[in-house]
Structure 1
Amino acid sequence: MTILYDWRGDFDNAAVDALHAEAFGHDPVPTDWRTRVHRHSLGWVCAREGGGQSGQGGSGGLVGFVNVAWDGGAHAFVLDTMVARNTRGSGVGTELVTTAARGARAAGCAWLHVDFEEHLRPFYLGACGFRPTDAGLIALT
């Protein structure tokens, strides 16, 4: 299976809604991802199963997505890493993050941050190469 990775690639909101629901275990919620990422993000990465062209929108073939927010300067943040269930464990998530890091570096960022739940520690610290840091969090809801 060939996977194509596209920095700031075109996508269909419904495809990302479905992928988000699958990745995070909830019913699909209509979200205007296109407006959100164009307004607030440095970039994003779309992973598509081979056969479609890189950069194509539409719901077919989207197997991964990650959003890269930023502060407008040196810091970028990985958010909402999503991989389709049938491609997990095949390196799609790692390549999503690698492509995101490359895009953030090319934009002049010096740091790429990520927050994650404990069960994702081997993925982010092992497979993706993040190192542990101290951080803080305030729940607002």
Structure 2
Amino acid sequence: MTERRPDKPLLPTLSICGSIDDAELERLHAEAFGLEPASPPPAWVERLRGHSLFWVTARLETELVGFVNVLGDGGLHAILMDTCVSPRRQGLGTGTRLVDTAAQEARRRGCRWLHVDYDPPLAAFYENGCGMSPTAAALLDLRPANRHVQA
């Protein structure tokens, strides 16, 4: 059920491991990251079931408007991956609620640390909006050297 506040827009319903299909997640992912959706869509659901600790969905009625995948190391660490919110919902608290819900669920499952990698334009969102602390991290591009595409 979607909650309505008189002075605020509708709040999406968040679900841990909410039902999802490949096409709708590909549409949201493409929309959020400014890409063209792949056709046919990648096997998102298969990957989620095989590699995720859990995921969080955000829906307005039946429309998927937000998503975050949480990976785990089997111990104390959880990692946010593919956090995405429909551009129509950005700036309305949906992303912050997704990350907060993911943090609460990771804590409930025994994790102590929640990690995320992000581009500099998202620093304010993760650090100020979600309360995460910046850390030093490194990234190695594993694609063939002749392909120069930014990560």
Could you state the TM-score of these two structures normalised by the residue count of structure 2? Answer: 0.85
Question: Is 1:16 equivalent to 2:30 in the alignment?
Answer: no
Gaps of 5+ in 2: 1-9, 144-151
Answer 1 or 2: higher relative contact order, Cα 8 Å, separation at least 6: 1
Q: Which residue of 1 aligns with 2:6?
A: none
Partner amino acid for 1:46?
A: T
In terms of fraction of residues, the more helix-rich structure is 1
Q: Can you give the 5+ residue segments of structure 1 that lack an aligned partner in the other structure?
A: 53-59
What is the aligned counterpart of 2:44 among 30, 33, 36?
33
Find 1:68's aligned residue among 67, 70, 85.
70
Q: Which amino acid aligns with 2:19?
A: D
Kindly report which structure 2 residues correspond to 1:1-141, keeping only aligned pairs within 5 A, or say none. Answer: 1-29=10-38, 30-49=41-60, 52=61, 60-141=62-143
Distance 1:32 1:140 in 2: 21
- Runs (4+) off by over 6 Å: none
Bigger radius of gyration: 2
* Aligned partners of 2:56 and 2:102 also within 8 Å: yes
Q: Considering only aligned residues, what root-mean-square deviation do their CA atoms show, in Å? A: 0.9
**Structure 1 vs Structure 2: percent identity of aligned residues?**
48
What are the superposed Cα offsets for residues 88-111 of structure 1, whole Å, 9 maximum, x if unpaired?
100000000001111111111110
Shift of 1:26: 1.0
Alpha-carbon shift at residue 2 of structure 1 (Å)? 2.9
CA contact (8 A) 2:11 2:94 kept: no
Q: Which amino acid aligns with 1:80?
A: D
